[in-house]
Amino acid sequence: MSQLIVLGLQWGDEGKGKIVDLLCPAFDVVARYQGGHNAGHTVRFGDRHFALHLIPSGILHEQTRCVLGNGMVINPEAFFSELDDLEASGVEVEGRLFISERAHVLLPLYAAVDQARERQLGEQAIGTTSRGIGPAYENRASRAGIRMCDLRSDDLEARLRPLHARLANELRSAEAEVPSLESLAADCREWAARLEPYVADTGALLQAWMAEGKGALFEGAQGALLDLDHGTYPFVTSSNSTAGGACTGTGIPPTAIDGVMGVLKAYTSRVGGGPFVTELEDETGEFLRRRGNEFGTTTGRPRRCGWLDLVASRYACRLNGVASIALTKLDVLDELAEIPVCVGYRIDDQVTCEMPARSEDLERAEPVYEVLPGWQEETAGALEFDDLPERARRYVQYVEERLDAAVHIISTGPRREETCLRRDGWLDGILGEGLSRVATAIRG
């Protein structure tokens, strides 16, 4: 069985949840490798609708094991809430859900610090979800964090004391409320008892499963352009959302990975601050937002919308070694007579097709567009590529040529059944016998 990474090629919200859900029948395991409950996946099939933030969407498939990897920062209360919602919906998780003992615990202090910092930054705020993700990764990097394996430690309070003292000072200076050390320690003890059935050495489990011939799908949160090292810094997340994070965030070697699939929205959206070269602050942008239901799964915030940016997408493909693309929300473009696509940036008096490192350069950049004809026909319900309108097929082929990667999945709606699957040798090699199960899932 193959090991596949699935990640977003933009700033998140590309529709990864649906794509992972579609591919699950071909894999035995789904492992999430970074981020926290700042990410959100929405999965729809039939008349059922699930919004997931921590637990991989693979949990909706009764044969699939799910792993929350060591690269994640996990808020126990958010995890329990999600777990309760799944069980209330009749989803059985016992024996299928595992949390890395090396994953860091996202403490309530971190969210309080995150919110205080965003308030203080005012107009210069990063636009975080204010859920404590950044402070959690800061303390992880400074070796002051609390991991899942530490929650039952005899010296837990001693570990918490210096961390609490430092963050409490910051909160007091921001005139924010400070929870007591005693209440924090009591929460940790309570969490430990409920988390115990799920916490395991997931790196060892993953390697053992792969040695048995099982296939794993490694799922990234957010998108490649929010990667801490390679994204639009400083308007990025606090972890590595690119393909390399799959190995460091789960404990499997790079040699185990067989391929990378990137998820690309047929236009572009972004939540929070930061440069966005193709952003549309007009009626067309509002049309994309409304028709695409562009409101955050996690925050509910309206997303900024714009045309497809192939400069940024090509950079993301190259960075991650993407050979396969899942193109989502093609149907959102159905009514448009013309569809501009960004193929270059004009910065001052120079045109470049490369992604600048400096956010200040991106802020000044003007998009260079090629305009493609729209199809003005409905694409929803197409199960075969040839069922799409001719101009919609040309749009897909244009994206393939520009990004030098095959579009294997085309999503024309939020439900599993609204998907077109294109087979070739690469996809057959990655999915193997599981390809027929994926096709069956699409057809209901």
pLDDT for 101? 98
pLDDT for 124? 63
Contact indicator for 371, 430 with CB cutoff of 8 Å = no
Q: What angle do CA 291, 296, 299 make, to 5 degrees?
A: 150
* Separation of alpha carbons 438 and 108, rounded Å: 40
Structure token digits, residue 122: 């005012």
pLDDT for 297? 62
Mean pLDDT by 10 residues, the chain (444 residues): 95 92 95 88 65 88 95 96 91 95 95 82 66 92 96 93 90 80 94 97 98 96 96 95 97 97 98 94 96 78 95 98 97 98 96 96 97 96 93 98 97 91 92 91 79
Residues carrying an active site annotation: 13, 41
* Separation of alpha carbons 263 and 261, rounded Å: 7
The dihedral through the CA atoms of 184, 190, 195, 197 has a sign that is positive
User: DSSP alpha helices (H): ranges in 271-309?
Assistant: 283-291
pLDDT for 49? 67
pLDDT for 305? 97
Q: Collapsing DSSP states into helix, strand and coil, what is residue 70?
A: coil
Q: How many other C-beta atoms are found inside a 10 Å radius of the C-beta of residue 142?
A: 10
Taking the model in full, what pTM does it have? 0.93
Report in angstroms the alpha-carbon separations of 391 from 127, 255, 383, 387, 403: 37, 40, 16, 11, 18
Tokens 């802020």 correspond to what residue?
363
pLDDT for 126? 60
pLDDT for 116? 82
pLDDT for 26? 96
User: In sequence order, what are the residues at sequence separation of 6 or more whose Cβ sits closer than 8 angstroms to the Cβ of residue 179?
Assistant: 108, 109, 112
The DSSP line for 97-108 is: EEEETTSEE--H
pLDDT for 73? 97
Residue ranges and CATH numbers for the domains of the chain are 3-96+200-442 (3.90.170.10), 104-195 (1.10.300.10)
